[in-house]
Amino acid sequence: MVLTGAGISTESGIPDYRSKGTGLWERYDPIQKASLSALISNPTGFINFNIPRWTRYLEAEPNTAHLVIASMENQGLIEGVITQNIDGLHVKAGSKNVWEVHGHLRTCHCMECGRSYPFQQLTGQFEKGINPPRCERCMGMLRPDVVLFEDPMGRDYYRALEALKGCELLIVVGSSLQVYPVADMPKYAEKLIIVNKEPTPWDHRANLVFHSIAGEFFAELAKVLNLE
């Protein structure tokens, strides 16, 4: 199986979170900007900070790494992808078995009545100057279907843990392996490969470590595996 983090999407124009000096959470406190308490205490500020950035994610396209991973699944070389990313690029690339453990940007829901909407319901209101966006039914506040800091993990996380049972090899791509509980997932695999630009806390336990850009690594892997 493959486990991916923000580093796999940087070549699609999406900045990562924890690279030294450039990562988003190196410059901002995530609890103040992207937590459940931030959404509740300052919804206008939360929306102003996050929605323009997340809207850009929706415009991104899969890169070589996403496409090769989808091809590997299609060829039966991997069972599927567990991703920390909310950008939906694995789905766009054609991966079928995708566990989005931190949620996604395809839908949103009302925090009062729970009614679900396409994500465009939230962004459309924001573009019209409605902040925070509201539910059509009860006027409750809309929030994206992503796992914020302080949120409990969603169903995909527990489904991913089930899928990892008996995993012979986990390839970790573009993850700092610092955000829990996902950072504990490598312990469920018999063997571990890590592909990340910077060292991770799991490097010393991995069978192979490549301090490489994801696209370059998977372009070479595709040649070895004779994948298109």
β-bridge mates for residue 142, sequence order:
110
In one-letter notation, the amino acid at residue 120 is Q
**Is position 108 annotated in a ligand binding site?**
no
Long-range contacts of range 153-160, CB-CB < 8 Å, 24 or more positions apart?
A: 153/101, 153/181, 154/101, 154/103, 156/99, 156/100, 156/101, 156/103, 157/99, 157/101, 157/181, 157/182, 159/99, 160/82, 160/99, 160/101, 160/185
Cβ atoms of 146 and 135 within 8 Å: the answer is no
Cα dihedral across residues 91, 96, 102, 104: positive or negative: positive
Residue 116 lies in a domain: no
Number of domains forming the structure of the chain:
1
Cβ atoms of 134 and 142 within 8 Å: the answer is yes
Q: Tens digits of per-residue pLDDT, 66-109?
A: 999 999 999 999 999 999 999 999 999 999 999 999 999 999 99
Its pTM stands at 0.91
Residue 95 lies in a domain: yes
Residue 34 lies in a domain: no
**What is the percent of the chain where pLDDT is above 70?**
96
Q: Tens digits of per-residue pLDDT, 129-156?
A: 999 999 999 999 999 999 999 999 999 9
Q: Tens digits of per-residue pLDDT, 168-186?
A: 999 999 999 988 899 999 9
Single out the catalytic residue among 102, 104, 109, 211. 102
Residue 85 lies in a domain: yes
**Is position 167 annotated in a ligand binding site?**
no
Task: Assign 211 a pLDDT band (cuts: 50, 70, 90).
Answer: very high
One-character DSSP codes across 71-100:
HHHHTTS-S-EEE---S-HHHHHT-SSEEE
Residue 158 lies in a domain: yes
Q: What CATH number is given to the structural domain containing 211? A: 3.40.50.1220
**pLDDT value at position 25?**
62
**Is position 135 annotated in a ligand binding site?**
yes
Task: Assign 219 a pLDDT band (cuts: 50, 70, 90).
Answer: very high
In one-letter notation, the amino acid at residue 154 is G
Residue 73 lies in a domain: yes
Residue 115 lies in a domain: no
Residue 207 lies in a domain: yes
Query: Does 102 participate in catalysis according to the annotation?
Result: yes
Give me the phi and psi of 42, to 5 degrees please: -145, 70
Domain with 208 in it? 2-16+59-102+152-225
Of 17-26, 39-48, 89-98, 215-224, the range with the lowest mean pLDDT is 17-26
